[in-house]
């Protein structure tokens, strides 16, 4: 479904992605792990068309993405849920969710998906008339994910969905990610919580300073002593 081949991306003179190759099959949940500065978010920004590779190839269902605008990429069904949430604080929860469906014109289907998202995150239904700025951090993250789902993603790019959240909220977020995956949504998940990510993923990649250092199935990576030592902090489950 998605294929990055020897992709190089620069920020000015800084070589941010150094010939990385990553693939995602339809229906998979693939996670990218790594420390701050590893190039994880840069990878997602490149897939979204916000950054352009200097060399290499990015294809989605056989179509070259490197010449497309972000708008065109979104229209293909590639939707990013960004790190830091980036909700509209002055708009209500419901208005934020409806913005996710801005390119859709079937009102009945939009209403159906709005109900579905509120079933995934019941707190959003209770907060529907509140402005985004009044929500807790965890609630804002749920809203950001919900807004992404309202765009009907065929490939969902998730950037650090558990960052800075309390453990109980992290569990809620990962329960929903698991549900989405089981429901057939293809997901590329960037995450620092390696243990949680490898519990829900099919496969994973570990990035360091703009390169892919390790890849494999989630089961293989959980059992890898190197991954356990550097990323899991002890025995993996």
Model pLDDT, residue 236: 40
Reported as a pLDDT band with limits 50, 70 and 90, residue 233 is: low
Helix, strand, or coil (residue 187)? strand
Residue 37: is its pLDDT beyond 60? yes
Reported as a pLDDT band with limits 50, 70 and 90, residue 164 is: confident
Residue 237: is its pLDDT beyond 50? no
* Pairing relationship of beta strands 203-208 and 29-33 according to DSSP bridges: parallel
Q: Running DSSP on this structure, what letter comes out for residue 168?
A: H
Q: Would the pTM of this model clear 0.95, i.e. be above it?
A: no
pLDDT average, residue stretch 137-155: 95
Reported as a pLDDT band with limits 50, 70 and 90, residue 138 is: very high
Buried b (16+ CB within 10 A) or exposed e, 198-237: bbbbbbbbbbeebebebbeebeebbebeebbebbbeeebe
The model's pLDDT over 167-201, given as tens digits with 9 standing for 90+, comes to: 999 999 999 999 999 999 999 999 989 999 999 99
């Amino acid at each position: 479904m998605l294929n990055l081949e020897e992709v190089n991306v620069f920020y000015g003179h800084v070589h941010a992605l150094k010939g990385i190759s990553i693939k995602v099959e339809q229906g998979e949940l693939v996670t990218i792990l790594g420390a701050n500065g590893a190039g994880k978010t840069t990878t997602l920004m490149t897939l979204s068309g916000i950054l352009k590779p200097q060399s290499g190839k990015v294809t989605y269902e056989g179509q070259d993405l490197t010449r497309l605008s972000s708008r065109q990429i979104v229209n293909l069904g590639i939707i990013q849920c960004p790190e830091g949430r980036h909700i509209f604080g002055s708009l209500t929860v419901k208005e934020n969710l409806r913005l996710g469906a801005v390119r859709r014109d079937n009102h009945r289907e939009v209403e159906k998906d709005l109900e579905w998202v509120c079933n995934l995150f019941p707190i959003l239904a209770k907060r529907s008339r509140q402005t985004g700025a009044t929500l807790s951090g965890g609630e804002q993250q749920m809203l950001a994910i919900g807004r992404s789902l309202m765009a009907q993603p065929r490939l969902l790019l998730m950037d650090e969905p558990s960052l800075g959240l309390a453990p109980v909220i992290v569990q809620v977020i990962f329960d929903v990610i698991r549900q989405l995956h089981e429901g057939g949504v293809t997901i590329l998940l960037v995450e620092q919580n390696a243990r949680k990510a490898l519990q829900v993923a099919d496969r994973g990649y570990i990035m360091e300073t703009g390169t892919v250092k390790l890849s494999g199935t989630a089961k293989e990576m959980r059992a890898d002593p190197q991954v356990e030592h550097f990323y899991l902090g002890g025995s993996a489950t």
